[in-house]
Structure 1
């Protein structure tokens, strides 16, 4: 199952750090990495190596002077430095390690730059202080604990880290020495057809795990290769038909480096998306067209509900990314047509067809008729019933963009692979299962009662006993049941994020480093010698 949520904190207990710090002699000087003889401590090499290997976490080692600092530290081992060089190197290493820790935990880009708006008070953005974490770790004599504390506490993060390493190892695989050749005339490869790319196709599917190791290349496109292509299509969010067409071929021609870059973007997103909130959480992953509901009460997120969803049209009515608390459910809801939809769609239909309103259950509330709707003195709403655009249930998490979860009167669209059909709201495939999850703390709301309320034809509002966090996120790369899955960059958010990172526009600026320590300063502020 996909694990998007956080695990318990890995921060060092403050009491233990303080106890360790108090044991340090008060005569110790201000440097973190250089001792009183102006010699680098062994921990400096550990820090420099971590910066040089920042790419393992999808970060750019160049942002932290990784290779250069490692070379300098290695060359400076075992010999005293002149005071100026020692001071400069110590300051550089401190600055870069703090920046690295900050980026590792909180990310490099403010998500608002790509129109993703998450409540900073619900993320680790303010909770994690890199300078303090570094000094606590050094005080414990365990620098690795600072890196551990900074690593995003999301189960899927570690899996993506391993996937990133595997893709980088595939970069030199002979299966990607060139591109797969063009498809036969007709633009697709079907059962029993010959094709010059069969050997390379087999190699790639084996390397990616879509075919068993040792699978031999056939002379024609047979059932074995079709099964491998189906597995690949499933991992890429393509129709799983085993037909090798242009869309599938284009994805098969993606290089390991391109996949590694996509994984790194997913790791970046996990740093600033507030996935852990409350005892239970609902997460909608827009590019995957899927909703998952998690129970976090046991300390580990456990997926309880998973279903397909329909999201906003990529062309003009995109679903926004944000988080908010669900506060109530509406059974057999009215649909208050948003003014923009009323102006552009509903009113023109009514004017062309006078019977349109009655047939579809619309009514005008307020003064002035249709002109009042245009002037803002009235609104159009659709009565509860089988034709209601919201279906028979609406899950409300109040927000200034008027986005909510709801059922639909057109369930057939859930069978589509690409499901961006809405005006921005999110249509859910299995509303009863979602309602049972949302109302599970209220035993009075049985499945039978939920179904009756949905079909009553009379609007009923049920307020939740406790707010339930809803997170709308944008992950084009996830790991589910051990499989690496990729989804289209539906709204182009990944492209924008990649551009910002390529330009070096890392706007997540860390807090200033702690004031340099002086001799005879408080021992509780100084790390222990190593």
Structure 2
């Protein structure tokens, strides 16, 4: 089916460009369209297709004919090579993965690609391999990502780096002596700083200053706390294989294919694995701040929503899961401490919700599967939502908010929340959100916050908010990779392995609209 669909697109384009006498169908049409291309150029095209790994694709996906067919059946070799090229070019232009359930952050704009024009170029170019080369670098950042992919493939071909097999839970402290883990760490960090394997200390079991410097450089590269203390998070990052890095880069390339141009309007984008929020206008970054996102077991969902209002001094209606899993153990240990933090306990009695005095409840009688109470936290300094809540209506009850836990923003890995987005500098975002909203200035904001009363206001201009998952970015030509904290890159890589449906586009007219046949 894949070959037939690919051939149908190629044939449709051929019909549009060949004289009437040559408007054949099927393999005959493919041969006629490329009969002016020299056999040597077809051979170079096949060689280029055999190198699709440099573009993050697998040549085995495209049934590239072997060189022996060129000698035994030149016409068939020509047709099958062009058929494989057309299928590969569609993946290079539109992305191999059309969509994944739950990934509303994935964006494709097939109309902007003009697939039929590319098919025509491939069919008529004297060097069709050049057309594949142009398609391969069309997405944003493609050259930088391809160069990084080539670097990691070279490392893989050389055997990659060694794995840490020692204790990966206990923290290795600066100055410590460890005859098992220090040599392993030294061998691994030699890929960051080869000097650690030179000199008198190269075989030392002491976690010395030179090795600490290499560890800090690695931590900084990975977006971790660069303190030289090697704990479980750093051990995990050290043990990420070269093959995992290659997989991330292949995903990064594919995710960018067929992507729409950046919107011109003011918008917010939160990159989950990079723990960053950007307020953008076109390509210009207006605000940039750290965020805290959902834990691995309470993941922040991908969303395309709009911020519509702001709430000051919010109360927190504790979600049932948080109440059962987080607050119940605290209530069992010290109910008075929970109460002093502003938490109130409620229960439904004869259809009415009434407040319950925590001191009258035997919390040891309850567990996470049996807890008949509702919990709300009053507004105040210790409220989990801080002083400001940014409302963006959605079915997952996700919002952005302030937090009293400011110390967590110093951490490199910031997946600590139950799904909502905690903001490093909420007052800066508030200033942007209220821009143009009549009657609201900093003086009034300060008055409302000081009152400690809960109040809300709609904002004059709602702001698009996109929560997306992009582990690999390019800044200033430098590729920056972060951990696949939710495993979504791994899911995407598996989707790439599955044969995708072809996008069928009409060959007539200008911009084309692709349709995924799934």
Unpaired runs of at least 5, structure 1: 1-17, 373-377, 516-521, 525-530
**Distance in 2 (alpha carbons) for counterparts of 1:218 and 1:197:** 18
**Alignment match, 2:513:** none
The 5-angstrom pairing of residues 385-464 of structure 1 reads 385-440=380-435, 450-464=445-459
1:411 offset after TM fit, Å? 2.3
1:405 offset after TM fit, Å? 1.0
Aligned residues: 469
* Helix, strand or coil at the partner of 1:472: strand
**Alignment match, 1:327:** 308
**Distance in 2 (alpha carbons) for counterparts of 1:63 and 1:455:** 63
> So what's the TM-score if we normalise by structure 2?
0.71
Match of 2:50 among 49, 52, 56: 52
Residue pair 2:45, 2:127 contacting (<8 A) in 1 also: no
1:393 offset after TM fit, Å? 1.4
Deviations 1:447-472 (A, max 9, x none): 56555554443444443444432222
Deviations 1:136-186 (A, max 9, x none): 66578886567646756434x43222211111122344884x5568589x8
Residue pair 1:288, 1:476 contacting (<8 A) in 2 also: yes
**Alignment match, 1:188:** 172
> So what's the TM-score if we normalise by structure 1?
0.70
Verify: 1:101 aligned to 2:89, yes or no: yes
The 5-angstrom pairing of residues 278-317 of structure 1 reads 278-296=264-282, 301-315=283-297, 317=298
Which range moved further: 416-425 or 439-448?
439-448
1:304 offset after TM fit, Å? 3.3
Structure-2 change in CA distance of 1:354 and 1:222 (3 Å): closer
**Distance in 2 (alpha carbons) for counterparts of 1:306 and 1:169:** 35
1:203 offset after TM fit, Å? 7.3
**Distance in 1 (alpha carbons) for counterparts of 2:171 and 2:341:** 45
**Distance in 2 (alpha carbons) for counterparts of 1:472 and 1:321:** 5
1:368 offset after TM fit, Å? 0.8
**Alignment match, 2:502:** 510
Aligned-residue RMSD, C-alpha? 4.8
**Alignment match, 1:477:** 472
**Distance in 2 (alpha carbons) for counterparts of 1:80 and 1:99:** 21
Q: Which has the higher contact order (CA 8 A, sep 6+)?
A: 1
Deviations 1:38-95 (A, max 9, x none): 56457645643443222122111111224x36x368x36xx9945xx37xx43x4454
Residue pair 2:270, 2:466 contacting (<8 A) in 1 also: yes
Residue pair 1:309, 1:419 contacting (<8 A) in 2 also: yes
**Distance in 1 (alpha carbons) for counterparts of 2:140 and 2:310:** 29
Residue pair 2:316, 2:385 contacting (<8 A) in 1 also: yes
Residue pair 1:202, 1:225 contacting (<8 A) in 2 also: yes
**Distance in 2 (alpha carbons) for counterparts of 1:125 and 1:142:** 25
Residue pair 1:335, 1:382 contacting (<8 A) in 2 also: yes
Unpaired runs of at least 5, structure 2: 1-12, 357-372, 511-518
* Helix, strand or coil at the partner of 2:416: strand
1:412 offset after TM fit, Å? 2.7
The 5-angstrom pairing of residues 38-187 of structure 1 reads 38=35, 40-41=37-38, 44-45=42-43, 47-66=45-64, 68=65, 71=67, 75=70, 81=74, 85=76, 89-90=78-79, 92-113=80-101, 115-118=102-105, 123-125=108-110, 128=113, 130-135=115-120, 144=130, 148=134, 153-155=139-141, 157-173=142-158, 176=161, 179=163, 182=166
**Distance in 1 (alpha carbons) for counterparts of 2:301 and 2:213:** 36
Structure-2 change in CA distance of 1:46 and 1:282 (3 Å): farther
Structure-2 change in CA distance of 1:239 and 1:38 (3 Å): closer
1:311 offset after TM fit, Å? 1.8
**Distance in 2 (alpha carbons) for counterparts of 1:164 and 1:145:** 21
1:322 offset after TM fit, Å? 2.5
Which range moved further: 231-240 or 33-42?
33-42
Structure-2 change in CA distance of 1:231 and 1:273 (3 Å): farther
**Distance in 2 (alpha carbons) for counterparts of 1:181 and 1:462:** 55
Residue pair 1:309, 1:428 contacting (<8 A) in 2 also: yes
Structure-2 change in CA distance of 1:146 and 1:341 (3 Å): same
1:134 offset after TM fit, Å? 1.9
Residue pair 1:332, 1:384 contacting (<8 A) in 2 also: yes
**Distance in 2 (alpha carbons) for counterparts of 1:380 and 1:189:** 41
Deviations 1:385-440 (A, max 9, x none): 32332212122222111111111133233334443332211111111222234445
Verify: 1:468 aligned to 2:455, yes or no: no
1:224 offset after TM fit, Å? 3.0
**Alignment match, 1:519:** none
1:360 offset after TM fit, Å? 1.5
Structure-2 change in CA distance of 1:383 and 1:98 (3 Å): farther
**Alignment match, 2:9:** none
